[in-house]
Amino acid sequence: MDMSVFDLFKIGIGPSSSHTVGPMVAARRFLVECGALDDAVGIEAHLYGSLALTGVGHATDKAVILGLMGETPQGVDPDSVEDKLDAAQLDGEIHLLGVKAVPFSAKTNLFWHKTIALPGHPNGMRFVLKFADGRMVERTFYSIGGGFITAEGESGAQADAQPSTPVPYPFDTMRELLEHGRRHGLSIPYMLRANECARMSDAELDAGLDKIWRVMRECIAHGLVTEGQLPGGLNVRRRAARLWKQEQDALLAGSRRNELPHDALNQVSLYAMAVNEENAAGGRVVTAPTNGAAGIIPAVLRYYAEDCRPSDPVRGVRDFLLTSAAIGMLCKRNASISGAEIGCQGEVGVACAMAAAGLVAALGGTNEQIENAAEIGIEHHLGMTCDPIGGLVQIPCIERNGMGAIKAITAASLALKGDGTHFVSLDNVIETMRQTGADMQAKYKETSLGGLAIHVVTVNHAAC
């Protein structure tokens, strides 16, 4: 397993890791690999399959343009995006990688192939760079979930891998990871830390993990105070800030203090929804493991840090992230984390499993309890479709994150109350998720051609 914790947790912008982050990375990479741009006279971008069908709602067009400008998901200022795009539209040109101006219009240089899917993945894109002497350079890329990309002819393993570095505890299945733990008497977070430190120093790893948690906290905090309407045309109003204010006002007034079980859980749901409202608005988020499911892990982490009274919260948060990354790596390698490939079970389901496993690790659970929690998290999301209304990462995505966070805490609680013995292994449930995704009709896999995406539109039209 050559993936790193920082492959699973990437700082970027919303609203989608596969439809925004991936295409931005691919567009920039294409131009970088083209080399000298002095004689370039034009650029085309062709979007296929799910990228074409839901690309407008997922801001794929904007992401591609930003990538061609040389912007990166982690580097671009979310508040500057619209100004950059407006300037390009007004000028009728873009500066490739920020240096070479060529004529460009989204209407004539971006092509949406909604009825064509490329063979490598539902999220396909092709770039064409034209030169003054008539030459053209073309290359096809796929956005394969979680911000990962691969070029045509490149295997998924090649695309995802860190530079190959021997690690002390290699694993491709949970069975192998558990075997290492039993043989050496080590915990999963310890082994993941050792693997990461084969690539970087202990201090670098901790600094990176702390930064991920800081960005997650900031995202929650911003989402809990930001009101207004989300972009995209559905006129969805943010709810997290208003509900959070009601919660805090009631607590300050002393009118109640978690009188019912759902009062305590309500805060966790609001943390997750706050993150995904930020994501839907194109704000700064951490892909965890995708943008559509980015709220679950931050919500459960904040629950751990504030409500579980940890004796060493810094270490606990780091163990949480390392352990949850291990689960994400296994899901990505042996199934998928792409909604366009296997539905939302691969996004919200995987994030739930990651959060459940991370929480058990942070609370000192055994390796077997960690596996049990992750298995529960995925098992109870099997078959979940990806059917966003209007192609926007809003309905049902925002609420699904709130529910996924609650399920993660429940899964962790069930696992911690047992001894780790369970009937279905994590490896088996990941394979079941993969097969379920393969059997799922394409209209339920991030195409907005089925499920809620068309039922709600049909109902609304009938009411008009």
> What SS3 state is found at 336?
coil
For residue range 386-406, what is the model confidence (pLDDT) as tens digits? Answer: 999 999 999 999 999 999 999
| pLDDT, tens only, 93-128 | 999 999 999 999 999 999 999 999 999 999 999 999
Enter the pTM of the model: 0.93
Q: How confident is the model at residue 253 (pLDDT cuts 50, 70, 90)?
A: confident
Residue-wise pLDDT for 2-50, tens only, equals 899 999 999 999 999 999 999 999 999 999 999 999 999 999 999 999 9
b/e map 384-400, b = 16+ CB within 10 Å: bbbbbbbbbbbbbbbeb
What radius of gyration do the chain's Cα atoms show?
22
State residue 7 phi and psi, 5-degree precision: -80, -35
pLDDT at 259 over 60: no
Average pLDDT over residues 269-285: 97
Does domain 17-151 correspond to CATH entry 3.30.1330.90?
A: yes
Tell me, which fold does domain 174-444 have in CATH? Answer: 2-methylcitrate dehydratase PrpD (1.10.4100)
Over the chain, what is the mean pLDDT?
A: 93
The mean-pLDDT minimum among 114-128, 254-268, 327-341, 393-407 falls in 254-268
Please give the average per-residue pLDDT across 151-168, as a whole number.
71
pLDDT value at position 458? 44
Assign 464 a pLDDT band (cuts: 50, 70, 90): very low
Cα–Cα distance between 228 and 237 in angstroms, integer?
6
pLDDT over threshold 80, residue 159: no
Break the chain into its structural domains and give their ranges: 17-151, 174-444
* CA 324 – CA 213 distance, rounded (Å): 13
Give residue-wise pLDDT tens across range 410-423. 999 999 999 999 99
Q: Please give the pLDDT value at position 260.
A: 53
**Please, what's the largest Cα pairwise distance for the chain?**
75
Residue 255 has pLDDT above 60, yes or no: no
